Chain A
Amino acid sequence: MKLFYKNIVFILFCAIFLILSLRGINGNPNASELASGIWSEEGPFELSPERGRFALLYSLVEDRSVFFSLDVARFALPDLGLKNGKYVSLFAPGVSLITIPGYLLGKIFGVAQVGTFFVISVFAILNALLVKKIALRFSTSEQTSTLAAFAFLFASPAYAYAVNLYQHHISTFLILTSVYLLLKREHILNDILVWFLFGIGILVDYPNIFLMLPLMIFMLSRYVKHYSDILGHKLQISIWKAVAVLGIIIPIIIFARYNEKAYGSAFTLAGTVEHIREINVHALPDRFGNLGKEEVVEPSSYEIRNPYEFFKTRNLLNGIYIHLISPDRGILNFAPLILFSIVGVFELTRKKKTAALLVAIAGTNLMIYSMWGDPWGGWAFGSRYLIPAYAAISVFLAVALEKFRRDKLFLLMVFMAFVYSFLINTLGALTSSANPPKIETGNLSLLSGHEEKYTYERNLDYLVSKGTKSYFYNRYLGDLLTPVQYFFLLTSVLVSVTAATLVHIYTFKQENEVELVLKTQGSWKNIRIAFSLADKFRTTAKNMGLF
Chain B
Amino acid sequence: MHKLQTISTFEITISKNFLAKVQDFLKEHMDIGVITILTLVALFSFMFYYTNGLGLKYNDARSHLDIGRRVVEGLKPGIAQLGSVWLPLPHVLMIPTIWSDFFWHTGLSGALVSMLSFVATGYLVYLFLKRYNVGILGQIVGVGVMASNINTLYLTSTAMTELLLLATMTAGVYYLIVWAKDEKIINLVKSAFWIMLATITRYDGWFLFAIAALLIGAIVLKKRKIHAIEGNLILFATLAGFGIFLWFLWNLLIFNDPLYFIFGPYSAHAQQAQLKAAGELPTIGNFYLSLKTYLFAMMYNSYTYPAIVGLIGLVVLWFDRKIDYCVRIASIALFAPFVFNILALYLGHSVLFLPEIIGNTWFNVRYGLMMVPTLAIAFGYIVDRSKNYRWVLLGLFFLISFFSFISYDAVTIDDALYGASQKNVSEVSGWLRENTKSKEGYILISAASHDAVIFSSGLPMKKFIHEGTGAYWDYAVEDPDKWASWIVLRTHDVNDLTFREIQDAQGFKNFELVDHYPFADIYQLKPEYRVSVITKPILGKLK
Contacts and interface: CB of A to CB of B under 8 A. Distances in A.
Given A232-B19, A314-B409, A240 B4 contact: yes
Interface in A485-531: none
B274 interface: no
A17 interface: no
Nearest to A239: B8
Contacts of B542: none
A231 interface: yes
A180 to B, nearest CB: 19
A313 interface: yes
A209 B303 CA distance: 22
Nearest to B8: A240
A356 B11 CA distance: 27
Contacts of A317: 296, 299-300, 304
A313 B4 CA distance: 44
B532 interface: no
B403 A311 contact: yes
A240 B8 CA distance: 5
Given A240-B5, A364-B399, A367-B396, A352 B15 contact: no
A353 B13 contact: no
Contacts of B12: 234-237
A309 interface: yes
Contacts of B11: 234-237
A193 interface: no
A316 B303 contact: yes
Contacts of A349: 386-389
B152 to A, nearest CB: 14
Given A349-B386, A349-B389, A356-B391, A239 B407 contact: no
A120 to B, nearest CB: 28
B9 interface: yes
A353 B388 contact: yes
Contacts of B391: 356, 360
Q: Which residue of A237, A345, A356 has the most chain B CB atoms within 10 A of its CB atom? A: A356
Contact of A231 (B5, B8, B9, B13): B13
A363 interface: yes
B396 A238 contact: no
A3 interface: no
Interface in B8-31: 8-19
In which size bucket is the chain B interface? 35 or more
A316 B407 contact: no
Contacts of A256: none
A348 interface: yes
B400 interface: yes
A308 interface: yes
A356 B388 CA distance: 6
Q: State the majority secondary structure of interface residues on B.
A: helix
A330 interface: no
B16 A233 contact: yes
A466 interface: no
Contacts of B296: 317
Contacts of B404: 313
Interface string A341-376: 000010011111101100110011001100100000
Interface in B403-449: 403-404, 406-407, 409, 411
A49 B406 CA distance: 28
B103 to A, nearest CB: 34
A213 B303 CA distance: 21
Interface of A is mostly: helix
A236 B13 CA distance: 9
Nearest to A361: B392
A371 B299 CA distance: 13
A318 to B, nearest CB: 9
Interface string A286-327: 000000000000000000000011011110110010000000
A316 to B, nearest CB: 4
B325 interface: no
Given A233-B16, A316-B305, A309 B407 contact: yes
B80 interface: no
Interface string A222-237: 0000000001111111
Contact of B305 (A217, A232, A367): A367
Nearest to B409: A313
Interface in A212-260: 213-214, 217, 231-240, 243
Contact of B400 (A239, A355, A356, A367): A367
Given A313-B403, A359-B389, A234 B304 contact: no
A231 B392 CA distance: 32
Q: Which of B303, B387, B392 has the most CB of A within 10 A?
A: B392
A233 B14 contact: yes
A308 B403 contact: yes
A94 B16 CA distance: 51
A360 B388 contact: no
A359 to B, nearest CB: 5
| Residue in B5, B9, B296, B388 whose Cβ sees the most chain A Cβ within 10 Å | B388
A371 B403 contact: yes
A308 B406 contact: yes
A360 B392 CA distance: 5
A541 B296 CA distance: 51
Contact of A355 (B13, B388, B407, B411): B388
A239 B396 contact: no
Interface of B: 4-5, 7-19, 296, 299-300, 303-305, 308, 386-389, 391-392, 395-396, 399-400, 403-404, 406-407, 409, 411
Given A238-B5, A238-B9, A311-B406, 13 more contacts: A214-B392, A231-B15, A234-B12, A235-B12, A237-B11, A239-B10, A313-B303, A314-B409, A356-B388, A364-B399, A367-B305, A367-B400, A371-B400
16 contacts: A231-B16, A232-B14, A232-B19, A234-B13, A236-B10, A236-B11, A311-B406, A312-B409, A316-B400, A349-B387, A359-B389, A359-B392, A363-B396, A364-B399, A367-B396, A367-B400
